[in-house]
Amino acid sequence: MNERLKPSHCCTPNARSRTTYDLAVIGAGSAGFSAAITAAEQGASVALIGHGTIGGTCVNVGCVPSKTMMRAAEALHGARAAGRFPGLTGDAQVNDWRRLIAAKDDLVSTLRQKKYADLLPEYDGITYLEGAARLNGAGVLVENGPVAADNIIIATGGRPAVPPIPGIKTVAYLTSTTLLELETLPRSLIVIGGGYIGVELAQMMARMGVEVTVICRSRLLPQVEPEVSDALAAAFRAEGITLHCGITYDACCEDETGVTVCVSEGGKTVELKAERLLVATGRIPNTATLGLAEAGVAQDARGAIVVDDHMRTSKAGVYAAGDVTNRDQFVYMAAYGAKLAAKNALNGDSLVYDNGTMPWVVFTGPQVAGVGLTEAEARATGHEVKTSVLTLDNVPRALAARDTRGLIKLVADAKTDRLLGGVIMAPEGADSIQTLALTLKFGMTTKALGEMIFPYLTTVEGLKLAAQTFDKDVAKLSCCAG
């Protein structure tokens, strides 16, 4: 760890002299800090055990660096797209990539210090210990030294996964981490993976001026509504991104000219070439060195720690939260799960993990955001389903912005009219999805949502129009008539 990131009290001689901590938290990222702070606020003594750079994935190599780079790419695209307004022209380009990367790094280091390292001295109940941790029968070993604790929370996060493609180990591929550390922009890039990490980074690089090809086994964002996948694919192609979806990976190799990936598409072999290769096929949990099998902590097929609705593992007194578990892989859900784990560990397992109204966002352009059940999920759970699909050319905000890429889809129970879920694909969809989350939280019907008052010329007004679409043709309404 960088010396300036260590809290001032972490190396005191008596740091491990306590007989037993109330709680040991393994992992000093978002989930680990959430658990430690929650416990300290309740008066508990906490050993927070970190290994490597403090702060975990989100601030160091995930949300913070990627989103600031995506905003930069969005600024480039916005200038180039000015021509959609009659009488305007615009252009923008990257003229100092290293300076942009340096600014990203500065933001990361500032937030890491302010929101992680500097917080530790504010909590007297937290003792920070640096070192690799492993479970043993009585508690935790940190660099082979014992740390006794009444309860343990594992929050060691995850890392980029690498698919078993023949030849991939011989290629100097990029991951979501190393892509954002490049000192120079490549001329061309193949992106393996059409999930949320793959699509975000692919579009970002394309907007930076890189020739991008995305290849994936299914479709873009395979877990979302198919209408959204199709619309996002159209938006990508319009920006010059090449897509090969529904393929299988045959092999890859690298030579002095770049990377070659061979795929099977429609029964034919297709050979794709680019200067660099980005692997963005999800993440795997950091569990290999924790001694879980010996400790009796169950894992699933991908190595994730299995937890129940109380965040308990299969071993009494051991909890887990965040990307290391088989739960939702979002930083805010990691923090939420860790808070529940801490409270349950200290107070008797009364709290239950609830993701029924968990919103999620993919920061592409347009943004994709959803909450609740998809149409397929609603049918699979036994609902008699009705849906509405509203394209953005029916939303006044999109018309005024001259950007009608996207749609809103709502899913409801046909018998009760209660909303079950929905997705917004729109330039400002991320900032609108919480409204839909609240409608689900409080059991609203489509009729009630359609009767609410929304401000005119906003993206979120599209939710009202989508709700009205269940019963009427909103194209026949005058402005604000609904």
What three-state secondary structure class fits 241? Answer: coil
Local confidence band at 18 (pLDDT 50, 70, 90 cut-offs): low
**Alpha-carbon span 43 to 35, nearest angstrom:** 13
Local confidence band at 478 (pLDDT 50, 70, 90 cut-offs): confident
In this predicted model, what pLDDT tens digit does every residue of 412-443 receive, in sequence order?
Answer: 999 999 999 999 999 999 999 999 999 999 99
pTM to 2 decimal places = 0.93
Asked whether residue 465 is assigned to any structural domain, the reply reads yes
Residue 5 has pLDDT above 90, yes or no: no
- 13 and 151 in a common domain: yes
- 426 and 310 in a common domain: no
Q: Which of 264, 281, 298 represents a domain boundary (last residue)?
A: 281
Yes or no: say if 56 and 7 are a contact pair by the CB < 8 Å rule: no
% pLDDT > 70, the chain = 96
Asked whether residue 479 is assigned to any structural domain, the reply reads no
The pair of structure tokens assigned to 460 is 């979120």
- 238 and 141 in a common domain: no
- 293 and 240 in a common domain: no
User: Was 282 annotated as part of a binding site?
Assistant: yes
Mean of pLDDT values over 293-317 = 96
Going by C-alpha positions, the residue among 259, 172, 202, 190 that lies closest to residue 69 is 202
Residue 314 CA from chain centroid, whole number: 26
Pairing of strands 139-142, 133-135: antiparallel
* Predicted pLDDT of residue 273: 98
DSSP β-bridge partners for residue 283:
160
User: Was 193 annotated as part of a binding site?
Assistant: yes
- 400 and 299 in a common domain: no
User: Was 194 annotated as part of a binding site?
Assistant: yes
In the block, tokens 């508690």 appear at 139
Residue type, 178: T
Per-chain mean pLDDT for the chain: 94
In the block, tokens 């199709």 appear at 230
User: Was 386 annotated as part of a binding site?
Assistant: no
Residue type, 361: V
In this predicted model, what pLDDT tens digit does every residue of 177-205 receive, in sequence order?
Answer: 999 999 999 999 999 999 999 999 999 99
Q: What is the domain range of residue 420?
A: 360-471
- 134 and 47 in a common domain: yes
**How many domains, the chain?**
3
User: Was 195 annotated as part of a binding site?
Assistant: yes
The pair of structure tokens assigned to 21 is 């901590």
- 238 and 133 in a common domain: no
User: Was 482 annotated as part of a binding site?
Assistant: no
Residue 3 has pLDDT above 60, yes or no: no
User: Was 395 annotated as part of a binding site?
Assistant: no
User: Was 225 annotated as part of a binding site?
Assistant: no
Residue 212 has pLDDT above 70, yes or no: yes
Asked whether residue 383 is assigned to any structural domain, the reply reads yes
Residue 12 has pLDDT above 90, yes or no: no
- 342 and 387 in a common domain: no
Asked whether residue 62 is assigned to any structural domain, the reply reads no
Residue type, 1: M
What three-state secondary structure class fits 154? Answer: strand
Q: Tell me phi and psi for residue 75, to 5 degrees.
A: -65, -40
- 187 and 267 in a common domain: yes
Yes or no: say if 215 and 191 are a contact pair by the CB < 8 Å rule: yes
E strand map for 193-323: 211-216, 242-245, 248-255, 258-265, 268-274, 276-279, 283-285, 318-320
* Predicted pLDDT of residue 378: 98
Asked whether residue 293 is assigned to any structural domain, the reply reads yes
Going by C-alpha positions, the residue among 35, 4, 36 that lies closest to residue 120 is 36
User: Was 124 annotated as part of a binding site?
Assistant: no
- 120 and 33 in a common domain: yes
Asked whether residue 95 is assigned to any structural domain, the reply reads no
Asked whether residue 235 is assigned to any structural domain, the reply reads yes
Q: Which of 281, 304, 322 represents a domain boundary (last residue)?
A: 281
- 224 and 251 in a common domain: yes
% pLDDT > 90, the chain = 93
- 321 and 267 in a common domain: no
User: Was 197 annotated as part of a binding site?
Assistant: yes
Residue 14 has pLDDT above 70, yes or no: no
**Alpha-carbon span 57 to 28, nearest angstrom:** 10
User: Was 209 annotated as part of a binding site?
Assistant: no
Put the strands of the sheet holding 248-255 in their side by side order: 248-255, 258-265, 268-274
Q: What is the CATH number of the domain that holds 338?
A: 3.50.50.60
**Alpha-carbon span 382 to 400, nearest angstrom:** 40
Q: Between 7 and 444, where is the model more confident?
A: 444
Asked whether residue 87 is assigned to any structural domain, the reply reads no
Going by C-alpha positions, the residue among 366, 371, 434 that lies closest to residue 406 is 366
Going by C-alpha positions, the residue among 15, 24, 14, 17 that lies closest to residue 45 is 24
Q: How many CB atoms sit inside 10 A of residue 354's CB?
A: 11
Q: Which of 255, 281, 307 represents a domain boundary (last residue)?
A: 281
For 18-22, 51-55, 352-356, which range has the lowest pLDDT when averaged over its residues? 18-22
Q: What is the CATH number of the domain that holds 438?
A: 3.30.390.30
What three-state secondary structure class fits 295? Answer: helix
